[in-house]
Each structure stands twice: as C-alpha cells, then as structure tokens.
Amino acid sequence: MIQIREATKEDIPFITALFRDTIQNVNSKDYSEKQIEVWASGANDIEKWEERIESLYFIVAEQDDTITGFAYLKNGNYLDGLFVHKDYQRQGIASKLLRVMESYAIGEGFEEMRSDVSKTALPFFENHYFDVIKKQKKPFKGIVFQNYLVSKAL
C-alpha cells in the first residue's frame, strides 16, 4: 500500500540517500561516470533540500515506513524532481506521485504541467502523455547534461 504525504525536514536523510542511490544505480545507465558523480553530489547540499521542503509542494511515497519515492513542484506546475527508490522501480510509485502533482496543479488553476526530464525518465513521461518540446543540453556544476523539456495539458 503506497501512502503519499507531504515531506518534512526529518525525511531529509532518507530523501537524500534515495536521490544518491537512484542516480548511481538507475540513471547510471544513461549518463557518464563524471555526470553521475556531479549529479549525485547534489544529495550533500542539505540546506537546499531544507529550502525545497519549506518552500515547494514536496511529497513522499511511503510503504511500510520506507520512503520509496518523492517529487516536488515549483511555481505550482513545474515538476522539478521525481525520484523512485532503486529497489522499487516499475511498481507504479512515480505514476502515483505524478497523479497527486497533477491534481494539485489543477487545483491551483493551471492548465499545463512542465518538466525538464532525464534520458532515463523520458519513457515514463511519454507513457504519461507528456510531449517533448525540446531536447537540450543543460550545464550543472560545470558539466553538461542532456535532458528534455516536456509538457502536458492538464
């Protein structure tokens, strides 16, 4: 049974561990070793995670007291992060998180949802009726990452 609730600061150690492990074990098939190292190092910026939890709509999926996924929404309709635990992939967790985010955005009066998504996540978003607006190269900490700007009408 997947429970969805809003994140609290107490969740940060679990959220950051999940973020690092998923990048190192799941995204690693699509990005270079250096890219993975730089991306995963984002787990160490605790202040940034605190700020996200405080200021964004940030939710976690929980099963048997384990955080198995999380997502956060910026400006009411921009999905800024969506990660599922490496041992819980393809069990419908991201689909459930996305449904909650879409309901929230609709409730806020938005008619579109946008995100910048990884190569790894693109099949998931296409499966959920997002269209690719553009393929792009985004710099992060001096390293360039290929990702996709995607959009969906709500």
Ligand X SMILES: CC(C)(COP(=O)(O)OP(=O)(O)OC[C@H]1O[C@@H](n2cnc3c(N)ncnc32)[C@H](O)[C@@H]1OP(=O)(O)O)[C@@H](O)C(=O)NCCC(=O)NCCS
Question: Footprint of ligand X on this chain (CB under 6 A)?
Answer: 22, 26-27, 82-84, 89-95, 117-118, 120-121, 123-124, 127
User: Can you tell me which residue has the tokens 């949802």?
Assistant: 113
Report the distance separating Cα 129 and Cα 141, nearest Å. Answer: 31
Residues making up the chain, counted from first to last: 154
Pair of tokens at residue 111: 């008619």
* Nearest distance from C-beta of residue 131 to ligand X, angstroms: 16
Q: What are the respective helix, strand and coil percentages of the chain, to the nearest 5?
A: 45, 35, 20
Nearer to ligand X, 105 or 121 (CB): 121
* Nearest distance from C-beta of residue 61 to ligand X, angstroms: 9
Nearer to ligand X, 109 or 141 (CB): 141
Nearer to ligand X, 92 or 109 (CB): 92
45 three-class SS: coil
* Nearest distance from C-beta of residue 10 to ligand X, angstroms: 22
Nearer to ligand X, 33 or 109 (CB): 33
* Nearest distance from C-beta of residue 128 to ligand X, angstroms: 7
Report the distance separating Cα 107 and Cα 116, nearest Å. Answer: 22
